[in-house]
Amino acid sequence: MLLKLAWRNIWRNKGRTVITMMAVMIAVVLSILMMSAKEGVYAKMIESMILNMTGHAQIHQVDYVDEQMLDNSLSLSEDLVNDLNESGLIKGWAPRIQTGALVFKDSTSNTISKNAIVMGIDPDKEAEFISLKEHVTVGEFITNEDNQVMLGEGLAERLKVKVGDSIILVSGGYHGSQAYGLYNVKGLVKYGSPELSNGVVFMPIKEAQWMYSLDSMCTNINIILKDESVLEESVSELNNILSGKILVRDWKELNPELINMIETDRVEGYIFMFILYMVITFGLFGTMLMMLSERTREFGVLISIGMKRFKLASVVWMEMIIISILGVLVGIAVAFPICYYFHSNPIQFGDEQAEMMADYGMEAVLQFSIDPSIFLTQAMIIFSISSVLALFPFRKLLKLNPQEAMRV
């Protein structure tokens, strides 16, 4: 009954209602778009990081945490392999050797060189991770039997190396040994962030183990979990199973800088949203005051003919809530298709912007997020603001003097 009254009251003054709704709607659309874009960027960064670099979790030798050097490599023992294969938590795992080398183009003078990340990978096991095969742009993907390597496109360009040419790798190996390698380039990959593509060499893990004198060791084992939503639980259980001199850490622990960066950026977004909502709050408050003064006489009459103050106040409170909810719903209705569109059709940046983003180590793609929590958060915020605001007319009506009110 009261709800019906409130609903009818709203539409008595359509203009005011629509304007208030619009204000709420615009705020909701703006913050949703902003959050969706930001969350989309974060999600992309995290995804690319998980697939390209760390996996959901990584296994190291304990000392590797403090000193990421080959001397702190991990032995890929039979027990460990069995444990990994038998664990019900793991969808896939792959050992890697992640280190560096100076890469030369093999020529008579050997004068062109560049520092690069060397990734010793097990091509078969990597299937669960990045579909590296799809990232091969020229030439072919390496296999476990090869003694050839793949280069990042950017690196090949800088070294002026083509598929079929040879490169020389120079680095330090395990326990002070020297690591030298002469390899044929089998393929070029365009992979992950441009920063990585400009300085990465992929080689079969067996070759890397030989070159760096690592026997059957690796620097880390990347893990993809079956259920990502129980990340922390899975990781602590794996730590229990694999306890000993090795350590499993999830991607959040592995990338504190990334998490930090995202958090800082998020806070910036919140500040912007806060300002936006401050404006909306005053807008709503203004409309409310106007409504109150316009309807003072009406309220006076209603109270004097016996309408309970509390019921009347509730009606007015509901009106405010309904207007905000409508605004939020319309806002979501407008924002969702936009987010959805840019989610399924990510924005590709032009060359210039792409280069700029490359400098920050990001892919030049903006994919919006359609995480439901974004939409829910907006609804919750607007709902809370208007509920609190609506307490003002509520209080005022409880104190209203009908005689004075009717004289207005």
Which of 18, 170, 259, 321 touches another protein (CB under 8 A)?
A: 170
- Nearer Cβ to another protein (9/198): 198
C-beta atoms surrounding 69 within 10 Å: 13
DSSP 246-285: EEEEEHHHH-HHHHHHHHHHHHHHHHHHHHHHHHHHHHHH
Residue that is written with structure tokens 């000193």 in the block: 67
Q: What is the β-pairing status of strands 136-139 and 148-152?
A: unpaired
Instruction: Please give the residues from 256 up to 285 whose contact with another protein meets the rule CB under 8 A.
Output: none
Instruction: Please give the residues from 196 up to 235 whose contact with another protein meets the rule CB under 8 A.
Output: 213
| Length of the chain counted residue by residue | 408
Which of 43, 138, 168, 365 touches another protein (CB under 8 A)?
A: 168
DSSP conformation class of 165: -
Query: Which region, judged by CB under 8 A, interacts with another protein, from 134-142, 177-185, 250-258, 297-305?
Result: 177-185
For CA atoms 87, 93, 96, 98, give the dihedral sign.
Answer: negative
Query: Which region, judged by CB under 8 A, interacts with another protein, from 83-91, 104-112, 253-261, 380-388?
Result: 104-112
Q: Indicate whether 338 belongs to the interface with another protein (CB under 8 A).
A: no
Q: Indicate whether 110 belongs to the interface with another protein (CB under 8 A).
A: yes
Q: Indicate whether 236 belongs to the interface with another protein (CB under 8 A).
A: no
Which of 2, 81, 127, 182 touches another protein (CB under 8 A)?
A: 182
Q: What is the β-pairing status of strands 178-189 and 148-152?
A: parallel
Minimum separation from the CB atom of position 141 to another protein (A): 24
Residue count, binding to another protein (CB under 8 A): 20
Whole-number Å distance between alpha carbons of 75 and 214: 9
Q: What counts of helices (H) and strands (E) characterise the chain?
A: 16, 14
Minimum separation from the CB atom of position 171 to another protein (A): 9
224 to 47, 131, 297: CA distances (angstroms):
12, 13, 68
Q: Indicate whether 245 belongs to the interface with another protein (CB under 8 A).
A: no
Query: Which region, judged by CB under 8 A, interacts with another protein, from 108-116, 226-234, 240-248, 334-342?
Result: 108-116
Contact (CB, 8 A) for 111 and 159: no
Q: What is the β-pairing status of strands 217-218 and 74-75?
A: antiparallel
Which of 68, 77, 82, 115 touches another protein (CB under 8 A)?
A: 115
Instruction: Please give the residues from 52 up to 81 whose contact with another protein meets the rule CB under 8 A.
Output: 71
Task: Extract the tokens encoding 32.
Answer: 């949703």
Which of 15, 66, 85, 111 touches another protein (CB under 8 A)?
A: 111
Whole-number Å distance between alpha carbons of 94 and 69: 19
Whole-number Å distance between alpha carbons of 358 and 43: 17
Minimum separation from the CB atom of position 176 to another protein (A): 3
Q: Indicate whether 113 belongs to the interface with another protein (CB under 8 A).
A: yes
Which of 62, 65, 81, 102 touches another protein (CB under 8 A)?
A: 102
Q: Indicate whether 117 belongs to the interface with another protein (CB under 8 A).
A: no
Question: What residues make contact with another protein under the rule CB under 8 A?
Answer: 71, 102, 104, 106, 109-111, 113, 115, 168, 170, 172, 175-178, 180-182, 213
